[in-house]
Amino acid sequence: MVIYLVALLVLTIIILFMLNFEYYRHKLGVSTSHSSDSMRQAILDEILDSAPQNTKLKIVDPGCGSGDLVLKIAKSIPDATVVGLELSPIPFWQAVLKKKISGQKNTIFLRENFFEYDFSDAQVIVTFLPIPVLHKLAPKLKSDMKSGALLLSNAFQMPEDWISYKQEMVQPILKRYLYCYKA
Ligand SMILES: C[S@@+](CC[C@H](N)C(=O)[O-])C[C@H]1O[C@@H](n2cnc3c(N)ncnc32)[C@H](O)[C@@H]1O
């Protein structure tokens, strides 16, 4: 009897997870995937090379998923504050849990819609968003970002009025680039 109850509980949890991901994928037009290890490293290296110097950095990941990129950057740049924005509840709570387990204090996870977020005090923004969503967000980023702020986009290019200062091939097999822009 107990074994059936446990199996039912596990099955219910799996179904709830799947429903959550499917519902938010449909609603937001983005699935919760995450940047590869090599892409995370390339993003971190680019921040260390090109972000404004002599200032306490604020780095924002709009659509942070379960927070791995935020936590990696925060661990490597302890003086920075790294903010992850995520609307989908399960990845959001996974990120919060990972923060608690890792004890990474310089991270902030907010369950917020990034279209309503003010990016004006961020020196670095990192994105992994498909073209329709990224291009919808682009005008807001353009008006919010202050001169010298960086935008690093995994895999997807900004609209044509954004000129990249660098395009780095990070995953040759997938032909996946990191696109780097400066306001
Ligand atoms: C592809 S994942 C990227 C994860 C992470 N940035 C990385 O590079 O590993 C994109 C995330 O954006 C979230 N998202 C999509 N639209 C959003 C919105 N309007 N506000 C907040 N989060 C959103 C999705 O739920 C999804 O988890």
pLDDT 10s digits, 14-28: 898 888 888 888 888
Question: Please, which residues bridge with residue 182 across strands?
Answer: 150
State the pLDDT at residue 105: 93
What are the pLDDT digits (tens) for 129-169?
999 999 999 999 999 999 999 999 999 999 999 999 999 99
Q: Which CATH architecture has domain 33-182?
A: 3-Layer(aba) Sandwich (3.40)
Ligand 1 center–CA 128 separation, angstroms: 7
Q: pLDDT by residue (tens digit) across 80-90?
A: 999 999 999 99
Domain ranges of the chain: 33-182
Q: How many Å from the N-terminal Cα to the C-terminal Cα in the chain?
A: 62
Distance 67 CA to ligand 1 centre (A): 10
Number of H helices, E strands in the chain: 5, 7
- Which residue CA neighbors atom 18 of ligand 1 most closely? 113
Helix axes 2-28, 89-102, angle to 10 degrees: 110
pLDDT the model gives residue 29: 79
pTM value is 0.91
